[in-house]
Structure 1
Amino acid sequence: MTDPRYVAYHPDIEKPTDNEEKLFDEMANKLRANNEKAYRKHKRGLRDAHAKSHGILRGELEVLPDLPPELAQGFFATPGTYPVITRLSTTSGVIRSDQIRGVRGLGIKVIGVDPENKTLPDDHEVTQDFIMVTHREFLFPDAEAYLKKGIPLAILLANLSDTMINVLSEGLALVNKLIPLRPTLAVFVRPNTHILGDTFYSSAPLRYGDYVARMLYAPRSPEVRALAGQSAAHYPGVNALQDMVVDFFGEHDAEYELRVQLCTDLRTMPIEDATVDWSEEASPHRTVAVIRFPKQDPYTPERRAYGDDILSFNSWRCIREHRPLGSINRLKRKVYDASSQFRHSVNNAPIREPRSAADLPD
């Protein structure tokens, strides 16, 4: 029996539009053109988003014991510890200086789930992926808005130099002090902070066993909590984010919390509009797991090559109880796989999921 305080998951909770498949095909074609353009420029395949990595980490995820029934769902239903591999990135599909303001990304790959319980029929791997960004809500409500507004904006930005991007960003930051910018522009004026102190969000909803949820990842141990909001100004290089990750994990361990926010009302916490803020007062994020990273070198040449060429993250690589929901996520099902296939093909790299944390090179 489900808890009446929370919206129960059922297949009809999503409301796809009649033209979605056409939109998805159009989006895949546009992104393929971007992939091909990046390949001609760099002579290697890049991700069409999250192109630049800043560190590849090996750790473990502990599902906490004694969770209340509404939180003990899906992968989190049984206490236990699992290996994880994570990749820190910037969400742009263009390789730029880390001095450029923008959204950062986090891919979490949990190893050891039931391969017979996967969402996609051809997925028989033992991995569960969670993909998060430093922006609480997605910038566009659905696939149609993303195609009409997001892709033209991305193409425009991709054709600007780092210098021009920086000038525009600093100008927008001044404007934002007088007139608050729309969220689609505000992401470009957020000051750069230490990436290991940032909080990351799923932005769009996913199935959470019997319920529906959004998730976040937040600093837990004192060393990383101290980095929250800390200016990155004292890391001036083009690879500043990589430098700060390598410096930190050369001296410290780190712990982070994985938290879940359950949906309580589909009117105020909609599935199909990813731009709507889900109220913490109505339903706060609650901790369901702890992710721990020991001291390590997170960006050796071997790790960089593994993370950029072999490793892939896809929110649809998941068990059925954590199926992504909403228009934006249905779009990702098509375009993530197409991008990955192209990148691995032109780089002559195998598409291979890790079977253990030892698959990540030291």
Structure 2
Amino acid sequence: MKNPEAPTAPAPVAFAPLVRYTPEVEQIPAEEPETIAKIGQMMVQMAEQVRAQHGKVMRATHAKATGLLKGELVVADDLPPELAQGMFAQPGRRYDVLARYSQGPSNPVTDKASGQRGMALKVLGVAGPHVAGGRETSTQDWVLAPDPAFINATAAGFLTNFRFGASNTPRLPEAAIVGLSYAARGVEAALETVGLSVGTLKLIGREPLHPIGHAYYSQTPSRYGDYIAKVAAFPTPETLAILGNPHLDQGQDDNAFRTAMSQFFAQHGASFELRVQLCTDLAAMPVEDASVEWPEAQSPYRTVARLTFPPQASFSEARFQYFEQRLSFNPLHALEAHRPLGGIQRARGAVYLQTQDFRQHTNQVAAAEPLSADEVPD
């Protein structure tokens, strides 16, 4: 008998042949360890600068949390074999899940600076062999952002851009960051009217939309059991209907995104479809170039699970301290069946471990790996 609360899998559709995962899909440049070491050094330096300003170490990126949620992920019934992989192999399987919505800068600046934002998911109680090098053995993390592709192709490209851009953010006065955000937002809007876009402008000048008003993408691929895939979370039509106009009026509220989340979840729940995009062509859907948006005409996103967050206090002080001090979200917190792939993922995994160590050691707190949402404060 089908689980009536589990999402229904889509009807069978003819798709292109899938690329099977083998370790050889990753091509690691000889200089990559040195590149990752330099990125980690810069991230720790940024965290030091933020500590000098605020008295404690915060996350090296996405330092400002805007919504901290507890929810549930339910795997769809009757998934076809290519989708019933890894943690999605058991129909109707339920997992507790934690979600952290955040703003992109390395220091918690005013929300008038509407730039990059993220949605990080930690799925709890995920059994099976985990990726070597990660420190958690019962979780599956997905680190998501509002764009289908990453701003840089490789770790080396990220290092170059980061050195001359985001790494200087902690040194800038807040008024300068706000001014840059508004200027970039105007230029980005003008470019989009003629069908153009520049990734850097989106990072610092994104339109201020409600955090649950748009989709979030992994941007980078992971192993998907026998295959390779990108992952995304799409708000359901019913959630968008409750939300209405997603545009956020920041006004004079320096915590406008946090306020919007708190007001919404005080009255409503939200749901998302978790979807995957399977790789059908390594030339059009590369593993090592994270800046390429995989064409949905060749391989559409397909629903594998439903993510639900009930009404709740999305930002209590106790929950804030637990999330911000004790939790970490890292692509290396993954089943081997969902191993993160590509240079950007390899850099994230290593650097996030380094900055987690610096943050928790300096702040004198212990890492937590909850087995259920009941362990997380309300």
TM-score bin, normalised by smaller chain: over 0.9
- Pick one of 86, 99, 121 that aligns with 1:86: 99
Aligned partners of 2:377, 2:282: CA distance in 1, in Å? 44
Does residue 123 of structure 2 align to residue 107 of structure 1? no
CA contact (8 A) 2:46 2:170 kept: no
Tell me if the contact between 1:31 and 1:48 (Cα under 8 Å) persists in the aligned partners.
yes
Give the Cα separation in 2 of the matches to 1:93 and 1:217: 24
Q: Provide, for residues 261-315 of structure 1, a one-character-per-residue CA deviation record: whole Å limited to 9, x for no partner.
A: 0111111111111011111111110110001111111111101111111111111
Q: Provide the rounded CA distance (Å) in 1 between the counterparts of 2:185 and 2:260.
A: 24
Contact kept in structure 1, 2:43 and 2:167, CA below 8 Å: no
Which letter does structure 2 place at the counterpart of 1:52?
Answer: K
Which of the numbers 48, 57, 65 marks the counterpart of 2:60? 48
In structure 2, C-alpha distance between the alignment counterparts of 1:177 and 1:343, rounded to whole Å? 37
Q: Identify the residue that residue 348 of structure 1 maps to in structure 2.
A: 364
The one-letter amino acid of 2:161's match is K
Q: Deviations over 1:77-103 (max 9, x none)?
A: 112111111111112211111121211
The separation in 1 between residues aligned to 2:346 and 2:276, in whole angstroms, is: 21
1:112-170 deviation per Cα after TM superposition (whole angstroms, max 9, x unaligned): 111x5100256453111111011221111101011111232012333222322222232
Change (3 A) 1:11 1:222: same
Task: State the match for 2:163 in structure 1.
Answer: 151
Q: Determine the C-alpha separation between the residues in 1 that align with 2:185 and 2:75.
A: 40
Amino acid at match of 1:245: M
Give the match for residue 190 of structure 1. 206
Partner of 1:214: 230
Aligned residues of 1:198 and 1:229 also touching (Cα < 8 A):
no
SS at match of 2:111: coil
The residue type paired with residue 287 of structure 1 is T
Matched, 1:141 2:157: no
- Give, in whole Å, the separation in 1 of the partners of 2:23 and 2:245: 39
Q: Displacement, 1:4?
A: 6.8
Give the paired residue count. Answer: 359
Q: Secondary structure at the match of 2:212?
A: helix
Aligned: 1:12 with 2:24: yes
Alignment of 1:320-339 (within 5 A): 320-339=336-355
Q: So what's the TM-score if we normalise by structure 2?
A: 0.91
Q: Secondary structure at the match of 1:117?
A: coil
CA separation in 1, counterparts of 2:375 and 2:237? 27
Q: Which moved more, 1:160-169 or 1:22-31?
A: 160-169
1:212-291 equivalences in 2 (<5 Å): 212-220=228-236, 222-227=238-243, 230-233=246-249, 236-291=252-307
User: Residue 26 of structure 2 aligns to which amino acid in structure 1?
Assistant: E
Quick one: which amino acid aligns to residue 122 of structure 2?
Answer: K
Contact kept in structure 1, 2:231 and 2:276, CA below 8 Å: yes
- The 3 A distance-change label for structure 1 pair 264 and 162 is same
Q: List runs of 5+ in structure 1 lacking aligned partners.
A: none
Contact 1:193–1:228 (Cα < 8 Å) also in 2: no
Asked whether the 8 Å contact 2:42–2:167 carries over to 1, the reply is no
Deviation at 1:181, TM superposition (A): 4.7
Q: Contact (CA 8 Å) 1:197, 1:225: kept in 2 or not?
A: no
Can you list the C-alpha shifts for 1:212-257, whole angstroms capped at 9, x where unaligned?
Answer: 1111101115133553762101664111111111111111121111
Q: Which amino acid aligns with 1:213?
A: A
Q: Tell me the secondary structure at the aligned position of residue 57 of structure 1.
A: strand
Q: CA deviation at 1:5?
A: 0.8
Does residue 343 of structure 2 align to residue 293 of structure 1? no
CA RMSD of aligned residues (A): 1.8
Listed as ranges, the matches of 1:36-75 within 5 Å are: 36-75=48-87
In structure 1, give the amino acid aligned to 2:234: A
Matching residue of 1:23: 35
Cα distance change of structure 1 residues 336 and 228 upon mapping to structure 2, 3 Å threshold: farther
Offset at residue 178 of structure 1 (A): 4.7
User: Secondary structure of 2:167's partner?
Assistant: helix
% same residue: 35
